Structure 1
Amino acid sequence: MSSPIHTFMPRIEKKGDTGVTSSPIALQSSHNPTQSLPSVCNLFPKAFPNDYKSIEILAGDGNSPGSIRFITYGPSSELVKTSKEKIESVDLEKRSFTYSIMDGDMLKYYKSFTGTITVTPKDGGSLVKWSGEFVKTGHEIEDPHVIKDFAVKNFKEIDEHLLKQ
């Protein structure tokens, strides 16, 4: 049985080829992903093999700023097959972390892409806000709706997975 998860209206603010997209998601679990970044590397490919083939830590401990992860996505990711991400900041007190895309398929579409995840405790669960700041490679490139939708889907899946544990 699927948990009642609410996705609030996503937002996109744009100025030319630069923009920010965000989507808050209310989850039932109270999991704080900022405290378990290294476990994501093991959990996601095992729990969600259709989304993630592998996540490798290339530099650092996988938990602190400067750490670099290489992600190979599974068959459900049609747009992006690989990405190399750098953890830019981790704030355990504010329950947030920020990462940037350094290499991979996404840079075909976006000159730069930075994602931020913030988790706020709410009513025994969590309110997760994912936001992506982007610069397109050209005017013809669409806003990153597919990437936002993939992130929202992942949060819903991890929530359901954690509730079963």
Structure 2
Amino acid sequence: MNANAQTKFEQIENFDKEYRQCLEFYNTNDSINDEEIIQVSDGTINCLLNVGYEIIDEFYYNKSEETKKALKTFIYSSIDIQYAINTNSDFGQYFYGSIRKVTASALAVDNAKNVIRQLIDTVKYEIEDMSDEEKQIDFKKIKNLNDWDNRFNM
């Protein structure tokens, strides 16, 4: 692996480590009441979202804003749907109270965890799949990827 590819691989490994740290905080927290558990879940989701943003800034440079917006929309929609499913039923509102909010927050963490894991795995796969020529490319220097696609047609 050349230096540029090695650097890219090291970067994604560092992001993977940050991802695991977000989950370690979530998995080892000793919250004792529902409100604390929900706060830890929210903090974990924010941690995961920030890791996702860092990955996007580094590896999705040419479409970072669009990709960040999609990621944020997905994660916050996931939170909304989990809360709606788990807390809005007539029976659940009456009989379950805050435990359903805890369930919803845990499921929202799972959704955020899964999408950030997919982001990490996708970038790892792409780095491993690069040709020697592609490993030399600094994609941040390519202002328009359409120009890169047309390089052979010029």
Same-fold status (TM-score > 0.5): no
* TM-score, reference length from structure 1: 0.30
* TM-score, reference length from structure 2: 0.31
Larger relative CO (CA 8 A, sep 6+): 1 or 2?
Answer: 2
Higher fraction of strand? 1
Which of the two has higher C-alpha Rg? 2
